[in-house]
Structure 1
Amino acid sequence: MQFSNEPVVRLNKACIFQGITAILQDVTFQIDKDEFVFLIGRTGSGKSSLLKTLYADLPLKMGQGSVVNYNLNEIKSKEVPYLRRKLGIVFQDFQLFTDRTVAENLYFVMKATGWKDRSKMKTRMVEVLMRVGLGGAATKMPHQLSGGEQQRVVIARALLNEPSILLADEPTGNLDPEVADGIFKLFQEINKQGTAVLMATHNHELLRKYPYRILKCEKGRVLDSNETEILEAKKE
């Protein structure tokens, strides 16, 4: 079952579980189609579990939720690949096939998500590599690329199906500051072109430098900076 006319992410009184353990409770927030949102919190606070729930790697057992118009409460296993086609997922540890070229890594995802026309696949592969600044990297193996370049390949992979939102789990965590800054600016460019971004990060310099909305996982809850600012204003 799908919702219509919804924000790209909506959770209402959701409870996020790992197995039988509740990691986050009473989670309520939404992300609109053009938003850039930081997701922060200490290690073990529930950030990754929240992201996994959004891309249906963990089931939503309590509360209500929708992501890109898919109802997380009712989604069937056969529908999960269709949900993920509308998402871009970027991991900290790249998860590239090390025995395949950059092009073969991207072709693998396209085949897995229903692409069949080889000429269209090649055109799209070139488009996304150009978009992330790696136009000449198609024939290279991952080990021939720097860490920052590998992360750009991961972002290119995430963009293949023109996602409504990018979910990024510590995408700059293993990169030196200068490279990390370049990757972050790439996320900004993608966001400005209409793709929402939810980015988990420990990089407090980014939080200070860029005044985007913040969701903070803390003590089993998710605090929303928008709501926190409203509450603080009411106290004054």
Structure 2
Amino acid sequence: MFTSEPIVSIQNAFIYQKDRIVLNDVNFSINKGEFVFLIGRTGSGKSSLLKTLYADLWLQQGKAKVVGYEIETLKISDRPYLRRKIGVVFQDFQLFMDRNVYENLLWVLEATGWTDRAKMKARIAEVLMQVGMAPARDKMPHQLSGGEQQRVVIARALLNEPQILFADEPTGNLDPEVSEQIIKLFHEINKAGTAILMATHDFDMIRKFPARIMKCENGVVLEEKA
């Protein structure tokens, strides 16, 4: 059944870093297929907000619903089910350095409940092709450039055909030319129907690829005019 319910909604939420409130009374929603930039200075709460939405930080006050899951009441045992419907792209890649590209992706499929080896192999081939990394299937992470590693991370995030990608400064460690290629890749993924919430401070990219903008500033989240 088709539903127009937002893919992310957060209401009257207070976002914490350890025991300190970093964002007060957060209210916004993201619809299916939307592309949203989340901007703000280092320490403004961007990463904490993302971590709360993908249930890495506990939502102590307020409500949030992500791909149908109530985040404030989500049990630890239900986290894997949430993670199957979302994708997370980190600035620092977080690849297993002792496993090749294929093994890194295989681990995610195994961890999220896939069991059919033929389907797993086919899905890995599909996402590596999608991000232009099919030839690197058997390479170790240290044999790849930063941009190539980030493409593998994006492939990893796409494995379970997520409804939304949360990207935390995905171009933070990359040079401008590679950053632009990565942002173009995100836009291709978005055009194919996946919503994206991307934390960034790369204002050149925001100018080149206009989208909805939210800003973390002085403890609140505001809508910015693009």
Query: TM tier, shorter chain?
Result: over 0.9
Shift of 1:86: 0.7
* Distance in 2, Cα, partners of 1:128 & 1:22: 38
Matches within 5 A, 1:168-207: 168-207=167-206
The 3-state SS of whatever aligns with 1:58 is coil
* Distance in 1, Cα, partners of 2:170 & 2:10: 23
Paired residue type of 2:59: L
* Distance in 2, Cα, partners of 1:99 & 1:29: 40
| 1:114 to 2:122 alignment | no
Paired residue type of 2:25: D
Paired residue type of 1:155: I
Paired residue type of 2:114: W
CA RMSD of aligned residues (A): 1.2
* Distance in 2, Cα, partners of 1:98 & 1:18: 29
The residue that corresponds to 2:31 in the other structure is 32
Paired residue type of 1:31: I
The residue that corresponds to 1:22 in the other structure is 21
Shift of 1:211: 2.0
Give unpaired runs (5+ residues) of structure 2: none
The residue that corresponds to 2:68 in the other structure is 69
Matches within 5 A, 1:1-236: 6-225=5-224
The 3-state SS of whatever aligns with 1:98 is coil
The 3-state SS of whatever aligns with 2:37 is strand
Shift of 1:59: 1.1
The 3-state SS of whatever aligns with 1:13 is strand
* Distance in 1, Cα, partners of 2:105 & 2:72: 31
Q: TM-score, normalised by structure 1?
A: 0.92
* Distance in 2, Cα, partners of 1:19 & 1:204: 29
User: After TM superposition, where is structure 1 displaced by more than 3 Å over at least 4 residues in a row?
Assistant: none
* Distance in 2, Cα, partners of 1:141 & 1:73: 38
Moved more, 200-209 or 35-44: 200-209
